[in-house]
Amino acid sequence: MSFPIDISEEAGVRYLHFGSLWIQGAMRIARPWNLELEYTKEMMASLLLREGTRFPRRVLLIGLGAASLTKFLYRNYPLSNLTVVEINPGVVAAAKQFFKLPEDPLRLNIVIGDGARFVEEYEKQFDLILVDGFDENARAGELDTSPFYESCFARLNENGIMAVNLLGRTRGYKASFERISDTFEGRALAFPSCDSGNVIAIAARGKPIKISLDDLKDDAEKMKNKTGLNLLPTIARIEQARTCKGGMLTI
């Protein structure tokens, strides 16, 4: 699959577009390893939900875009092995030329292909799956179907986590979230919509996740010190939305 790829710059930020005004990715030129768009930061909240230095060792990213998530994980989680599936080879070329996508075949495997087919046919499992794939009209297509989410469930290890960007759903995100929740037997949580309109859904299998908001804030503070990423505003929004009964985030 191919579609037009455009690059724009404004106020020190470089943007990726797929032949339209929709922003498909962004990088602050002076800080290429940082996460610029709010929703990419929120997808990284998934990193707070499992304890231990071994999480995440194996990560699957569906949709490369401007390589923001890929670069953040590559730089800040050096024990992680990353597999990125991108359907458009032009996006990979643009990420290398304009967005500083690293080349490291030992840790970073770039696959040109269909994300839905990949998770259906691949046999190994992952600790973390991040889904952020859209076409030039901000449509997710097969990446927002029950069969796709079922394949993702099968590709997660026994304590795996999936995070999905639900932007671009023409009728809102609720139907998409219901498909995710049904697949994961109710073990899913949708964050309150951020300013851009993105809604991040997180789903888990294996050991139940039950973390107090206070502990989550402590872990977010540690992440901020380690990576520079500040997830405290995200946790505050979750708290204000009262989606965590008894002050506990439970998935």
Among all residues, which ones are annotated catalytic? 132
Strand residues in the chain grouped as ranges (E): 6-10, 13-17, 25-28, 58-62, 81-86, 108-112, 126-131, 156-165, 188-190, 200-204, 210-212, 248-250
Please say whether the beta carbons of 164 and 195 come within 8 A.
no
Bridge partners of 25? 16
Distance, in Å, from the CA atom of 141 to the CA atom of 146, rounded to the nearest integer, reads: 11
Give residues with Cβ within 8 angstroms of 211, minimum separation 6: 48, 49, 219, 248, 249
Distance, in Å, from the CA atom of 5 to the CA atom of 47, rounded to the nearest integer, reads: 30
Instruction: Supply 79's token pair.
Output: 């024990």
Please say whether the beta carbons of 188 and 181 come within 8 A.
yes
Distance, in Å, from the CA atom of 223 to the CA atom of 179, rounded to the nearest integer, reads: 31
